[in-house]
Amino acid sequence: MAKQYCTFHLADLFFGVDVQEVQEVIRYQEMTPVPLASAVIRGLINLRGQIVTAIEMREQLAFEPRDPEKLPMNVVLRTEDGAVSLLVDEIGDVLEIEESLYERAPETVRHLVGDLVPGVYKLDGQLMLVLDTKKTLEAVAAA
Amino acid sequence: MEEPDEITKEFLVESYENLDQLDQELVALETEPGNTERIASIFRTIHTIKGTSGFLGFTELQRVTHVGENLLSKLRDAELDLNQGRTTGLLQMVDAVRSILGAIEETGEESDDRYDELIGELERLLSPDADAPEAPAAEPAAPEAPAAEPAAPSAPVPEAAADQAAPEAPVSEALEAEAPVLDEAAPKAQAPEAEPKPKKEESSARGGHHAVAETSIRVDVGLLDDLMNLVGELVLARNQILQHAAGTDDTAFVSTTQRLNLITTELQEGLMKTRMQPIGNVWNKFPRVVRDLAIACSKQVMIEMEGKETELDRTVLEAIKDPLTHVVRNAVDHGIESPEARVAAGKPATGRLLMRAYHEGGQVNIEISDDGAGINVERVKQKAIDKGLLTVERASRMTDRELAMCVFMPGFSTAASVTSVSGRGVGMDVVRTNIEKIGGVVDVANRPGQGMTLKIKIPLTLAIIPALIVGSGGERFAIPQVNLLELVRLEGEVARSAVEHIHGIPVYRLRGSLLPLAYLGEQLQTRPAEEARDLVDGAINIVILQADERSFGLVVDEVFDTEEIVVKPLGREIKGIATYAGTTIMGDGRVALILDVLGIAQRSRIVSEHHARGGDERVAAEDPRLERQTVLVFQAGQDGRLAVPLDLVSRLEEISKDRIERAGGCDVIQYRGGIMPLIDVTSTLGKMPADDAQGLRQVIVHARGERAMGLMVDRILDIIEETVEPQNIGYASGLCGSAVIQGRVTDLLDIRGLIESVDPDFFGDEAA
């Protein structure tokens, strides 16, 4: 069994989310900041009339802030409550990955990214962290 | 020919729908006579028609359906079997009903046709041994063509044609011509008349016959909602194009844009109308609620309704349903006294509950008045203190009106006992919360001993609302117009000294009373804390808002325009922030947040979160200092909405542009045998002229004795009687302030200043 993942880079890590959950991937969009919202929420994007909340993944995962010169990319997720965008550093390819390469995230990794990353795919030459989008959005809403 | 009234029309549409189904059901029933469910369904349909026809006074229809119903009830109870004769009888009854309905549709009343024979036949079928001796049409085709069948032996038209013609087109004109022949051919000719008539007539007849049913269709509400969303998108796209068009010289593009603008507006209005429903749809259940409740509380209550036809967007209607029910129950339970108490108080034993709805300034007002005891403010005060909702000290400072509003406090209930009806103390605050949730306002007018009126003001629709766009810290925010009272802009020295502080809390003196201020930049942290209260460009803009019966001033960096905005919900991630009510997309495609005025007020502690009331006597409509004024509202320039007091307007004239001449360095016109100078208000105020003037200008004539001055404007919009609170803002020369008129910010034209700028001696005599 193989599964398709939409991949992206964040800091020095390589992530993937189930391609079924991704509505689209778009370049940086102008955003309207939301005063008083938590720092995770970078702003609101007008995506063809649909208002999308943009979530700074570096902030959510407590990474270093991004170099202000570099503009983030949007991974727009489809959710029950409309679309949400994850701001990431760079977009990777859509990969088709064998389920057999999956392994539960080791405790040490969990330590770093909490339970947002339930598992890891051991790819050739690199590891791909699976991002649990549902948990991520729950964490954002709770923030 | 008389048009059937609304109720009759509805009855017709509904009955036609039911009858179409009935034909199929009866036929299907014949193949499986034992299906009691089907009989019951047919029974209900006929029963409904019978009931309504009795109510509407259609006696013949009632007679026919009554006997049909009897037959059906016996069939349903299995006292009789359904044989072909009975089916035929029932189908004939359906046809008779159809032709009576046809007559009603055309003339508004029943025709003179009598259906005694059919009734006799149906009664005969009621006897257990009745067969179908008179139904010679035992052919297989008969059930589908019930009306045709008695005529079959002599029918000049082939059976197949009769099949179609008969059930659908029993038309009276055809009826008369053919009647004699048919009477012979078909002894119990009720519907068969239609059958042999020429094809041509048939089709035209069909057109007329189902007119009522065919001009209205049922549409899935979800589809309308989707369309509404799309129109919302279109409005946004239109706004963007308009903005783009403003910066180009391409006239073809600009004029196309204007057409697009108009069409979009019309489309939006049209679609909005499809979602409108009369408030009567919600009210209709109240007479019953009131009756049952009055009986339960041993009271006598009469309910009256005015403005049932007032229309509201269905989402709004949905949202006010429960609050209204609660208010009505409350009025009966708590408001209206027992008959004995009423008589003792010198009032009629029967209490009166009046519900009124009407449109006003783009909003809907709903008033629920009763002539009961009203709110006993002393009791309210005591109760609020007992429950710890108010301190004694605070309560003593409150006015009667504020105390009356206490009934909306959470956890408040004055009913001595908890009844099954109301009195759990969770009622009125929920009413208010629900109304405010949809951008509405609740107010109480209390007449102790004489009753009270609850006034609810709600927007027509929730999807697209007018809003004022303001700027803070470089970002734009939308403030719903419903919350807006007025705008104040102070410049220069005045701006620096305008804001005073009480223990660090900023206040502004507005016409003598203190207005608490909140700085938007400070509340939203869009400006650094240390400079959040600094002036922007040496000026201060105060947007005066109403939240929770209290007014306060919100200081913003910039005030832009008012715009129709499409409200979009907040995403789950930011829903929890109380300061925002939603989002919208601006003309340039950027997202803007819609401010929740109550949330801002609570955040800045102007309104405590417990909805406690402060002393605010400045609600415009209630303030005796402000008189209602009649103003002429007009347009000058593409976006200029202005007003002048009507008593300064002597006449209104429409002139063509080529009548304008030049004299003494200014525009003049020959007017009433003299020369009248003209002032172009649009260009004087530095506004872009509106393009649709088409060679005609509207002139407001201000005459004083022998002299007259004409003010040229683009369009006269309206004459309105409203409470106008002018603000001496000093935006621009030629204006003497702004006010909210009809819920929109309107500049007030300084006629005197304007005229003096052209002719300093115009008012010379009295100035001296």
What pLDDT, in 10s, does the model give residues B31-89?
777 777 777 788 888 888 888 888 788 888 888 888 888 888 888 777 777 777 787 88
The answer, for A55 touching chain B at a CB cutoff of 8 Å, is: yes
The correct CATH number of B6-215 out of 3.40.50.2000, 1.20.1090.10, 1.20.120.160, 2.60.40.1170 is 1.20.120.160
Reported as a pLDDT band with limits 50, 70 and 90, residue A45 is: very high
Local confidence band at B548 (pLDDT 50, 70, 90 cut-offs)? low
pLDDT computed for residue A55 by the predictor: 94
Q: What is the pLDDT of residues B360-414, one digit of tens each?
A: 766 788 999 988 888 888 888 888 888 777 788 877 877 777 777 777 776 676 5
- Per the CB < 8 A criterion, the answer to whether B713 and B451 are in contact is no
In this prediction, residues B576-598 reach a mean pLDDT of 85
Lowest mean pLDDT among B174-188, B318-332, B719-733: B174-188
C-beta separation of B197 from B168 below 8 A: no
| Residue B549 Cα, gap to closest chain A Cα (Å) | 25
pLDDT in tens, A73-106: 999 999 887 889 999 999 999 999 988 888 888 8
Q: Is B238 left (phi over 0), alpha (psi -120 to 50) or beta?
A: alpha
Question: What residues have CB less than 8 Å from B654, skipping those under 6 apart?
Answer: B696, B697, B698, B699
Cα(B579)–Cα(B598) distance, integer angstroms: 8
Q: What does each C-alpha distance from A75 to A27, A141, B574 come to in angstroms?
A: 9, 18, 19
What confidence category does residue A116 fall into, taking pLDDT thresholds of 50, 70 and 90? confident
Kindly report the CATH number assigned to the domain that includes residue A26: 2.40.50.180
Q: Does the structure show a pLDDT above 90 at B543?
A: yes
Residue A6 pLDDT: 94
* DSSP SS3 for B177: helix
Residues B473-527: tens digit of each pLDDT:
889 999 988 888 999 998 888 888 888 888 778 889 888 888 899 999 888 888 8
Q: d(Cα B411, Cα B603) in Å, to the nearest integer?
A: 22
The domain in which residue A103 lies consists of 2-142
Output the pLDDT for position B691: 61
**Does the CB of B528 have a partner CB in chain A at under 8 Å?**
no
CB of B589 within 8 Å of any CB in chain A?
yes
Task: Go through B203-229 and write b for each residue having 16 or more CB atoms within 10 A of its CB, e for each that does not.
Answer: eebbeebbebbeeeeeeeeeeeeeebe
Q: For the domain B278-459, what is the CATH code? A: 3.30.565.10
Q: Supply the pLDDT for residue B148.
A: 39
Cβ B358 vs Cβ B310: under 8 Å: yes
CB atoms within 10 A of CB A20: 10
Kindly determine whether residue B574 and residue A41, on different chains, have CB atoms separated by under 8 Å: yes
Nearest to B589 among A35, A46, A84 (CB): A46
User: Whats the size of chain A, residue-wise?
Assistant: 143
Task: Calculate how close chain B gets to A60, using CA atoms only, in Å.
Answer: 13
Question: Which residue of chain B has the CA closest to A140?
Answer: B573
What distance in Å separates the CA atoms of residue B241 and residue B219, rounded to the nearest whole number? 32
| Architecture per CATH, B221-274 | Orthogonal Bundle (1.10)
3-class DSSP assignment, residue A16: strand
The answer to whether the CB atoms of A141 and B577 lie below 8 A apart is no
pLDDT of amino acid A57: 92
**Among A124-128, B205-209, B273-277, B535-539, whose mean pLDDT is lowest?**
B205-209
Residue A84 one-letter amino acid? V
- Residue range B468-621 forms a domain whose CATH class is mainly beta
pLDDT higher than 50, residue B768: no
CA A67 to chain B, closest CA, distance in angstroms equals 22
The pLDDT score that the predictor gives to residue B445 is 85
Minimum Cα–Cα distance from A139: chain B residue: B573
The answer to whether B120 and B94 are in contact (CB under 8 A) is no
- Per-residue confidence band for B729, with pLDDT thresholds at 50, 70 and 90: low
Q: Do B579 and A34 touch (CB under 8 A)?
A: no
**pLDDT score for A88:** 94
A49 close contact with B: CB closer than 8 A: yes
Whether B132 has a pLDDT exceeding 70, the answer reads no
What is the arithmetic mean of pLDDT over B444-456? 86
Q: Is the pLDDT of residue B183 over 80?
A: no
Confidence tier at A71 by pLDDT (50, 70, 90): very high
The answer to whether the beta carbons of residues B591 and A51 sit under 8 Å apart is: yes
Higher pLDDT, B706 or B526: B526
pLDDT tens digit sequence for B149-176: 444 344 344 444 444 444 444 444 444 4
Q: pLDDT per residue over B114-127, tens digit each?
A: 788 888 888 888 87
A53 CB near a chain B CB, below 8 Å?
yes
What average pLDDT is seen over chain B?
Answer: 75
Band (B131; pLDDT cuts 50, 70, 90)? low
| Å between A53 CA and nearest CA of chain B | 7
Q: Report CA-CA distances (Å) from B743 to A133, B469, B672.
A: 45, 15, 38
**Is residue B337 a contact partner of residue B345, using CB atoms and an 8 Å limit?**
yes
Structure confidence at residue B149 (pLDDT): 40
pLDDT at B100: 86
Q: Cite the residue boundaries of each domain of chain B with CATH code 2.40.50.180.
A: 468-621, 627-767
3-state secondary structure of B562: strand
DSSP-derived pairing of the beta strands A127-130 and A13-18: parallel
Percent of chain B with pLDDT over 90: 6
Distance from CA of A37 to the nearest CA of B (A): 7
The string of pLDDT tens digits covering residues B282-311 is 888 888 888 888 888 888 888 889 988 888
Categorize the per-residue pLDDT at B187 as very low, low, confident or very high, splitting at 50, 70 and 90.
Answer: very low
A chain contacts of residue B573, beta-carbon cutoff 8 Å: 37, 41, 53, 55, 84, 137, 140-141
Cα–Cα distance, B446 to B413 (Å, whole number): 16
Residue B137 has pLDDT above 50, yes or no: no
B217: pLDDT strictly greater than 90: no
Name residues 56-115 of chain A within 8 A of B (Cβ): 79, 81-82, 84
Q: In what order do the strands lie in the sheet containing B580-585?
A: B558-566, B464-472, B475-480, B591-595, B580-585
Give dist(CA B461, CA B312) in Å, integer. 7
The total of structural domains in chain A comes to 1
Tell me which DSSP letter residue B332 carries. I
Q: Which of A37, A49, A137 sits opposite B574 (nearest CB)?
A: A37
Q: Whole-prediction pTM value?
A: 0.48
Res B26 pLDDT > 50: yes
CATH entry, B627-767, from 3.40.50.1820, 3.90.1150.10, 2.40.50.180, 2.30.300.10: 2.40.50.180
Is A51 in the B-facing interface, judged by CB distances under 8 Å? yes
